[in-house]
Amino acid sequence: MQIDWHYSWNVVDAAAGLLGWLVVLGLVMRQRQKQETRRPIWKILFVTLAGFFSLSFKIPLFGQIVNIALLPLGLWAAYLFLRKRSWTEYRKFAWIGFTANYLFLVTALLAGFIHDSLYDRNDPSTYLAHLEKAKLVAIHPSAREATFEKVLFSSSLAEAKASDMSSTLDWYRESKLEDGTQYQQERFPYALLEAEARWGSGLHASAYLEADGKGLLLATKDRYYYYRSEKPMLKMEVRE
């Protein structure tokens, strides 16, 4: 579990969430100062939290999935519960809670933009930033002897260029054609394990290396990336 935490920690999202809650707390405190009858803080916070619950739906917006709050369910519940007794004193807090949904919508969008400007998703070194623990594993019998050298890998990674992936189906078919030269050969017979993404990005990619040592395939949750470099990224055994 701890290892999990280390790489999936998205600092920007966490900061945005914290900021959002601090603003809500600030609004609540300001409203409390304004009102004449001061209700206990824990009750106020409870009503605010209740107001936060809503019927919402999710839509994709600017490349993110965001939550749009529609019906203030928590607010209605608070109203039914308090009705005659003290609703007028708590009403504003329940509404602050409901509005917080939109506040978090804004901070989430903002966090998305900031994250994109800090961490380039198209740059392979975002996903393979820390290679201290990296290990190369042959995952297929067609893999030749190869060794991973950090310096060599980093320098060729810096030069690697995004490459066309539209022929993935051909790669697949080549390995199935009995009379082809690639029959039962794996195009990416090496996996690079335990490389870590840039700190705070919350990103992760599985990395595979091509049989000639010059191609890199990254698999992330959203999509695949393919890079080619001029010189080999691995130290390949020389074929006799």
Partner 1 sequence: MRGRRLLIVVILIIAAAVIVFFRTYDGKPGPLPSVDEIIAELNEYDSEADASVVLENVKLNEQQVFIPFVSNQGIHGMGFLKWENRKWRVARVDMSGRPEVRVTDHSDPSGRYVVWNINPLENVKEFRFYLIRDRNAGMSNGVYYYVPRVQMEMLVNVTEHPYGAMPFPDEWAGIIREDDKLGKAPAANIMDNIFSHSYSQPSTIYVGYLPVYANDASELGSSSKSGDEDTEFLMIMNETDLERPQK
- Residues in touch with partner 1 (CB under 8 A): 1, 57-60, 65, 135, 137-142, 144, 165-166, 168-169, 171-172, 175, 183-189, 191, 193-194, 204, 206, 208, 217, 219-224, 226
Q: Which is nearer to partner 1, 40 or 60 (CB)?
A: 60
Q: What angle do CA 177, 178, 181 make, to 5 degrees?
A: 80
CB of 145 or CB of 159, closer to partner 1: 145
Task: State the nearest-atom distance from the C-beta of 114 to partner 1, in Å.
Answer: 20
Segments of 72-199 assigned E as strands: 135-138, 146-147, 161-162, 190-193
CB of 24 to partner 1, least distance (A): 21
d(CA 110, CA 87): 34
The CA distances from residue 60 to 64, 97, 157, 226, in Å, are 5, 23, 33, 26
Q: Quick one: 125 or 220, whose CB is closer to partner 1?
A: 220
Compute the least distance from the CB of residue 35 to partner 1, in Å.
Answer: 31
Task: Compute the distance between CA of residue 218 and CA of residue 127 in angstroms, rounded to an integer.
Answer: 8
Minimum CB separation of residue 155 from partner 1 in Å reads 24
Query: Token digits for 181?
Result: 């030269």
CB of 29 to partner 1, least distance (A): 30
Tokens of 200: 């705070």
By C-beta, is 179 or 230 nearer to partner 1?
179
**Residue number, 77 or 219, with CB nearest to partner 1:** 219
How far, in Å, CA of 238 to CA of 92, rounded?
Answer: 75
On whether the CB atoms of residues 131 and 223 are closer than 8 A, the answer is: no
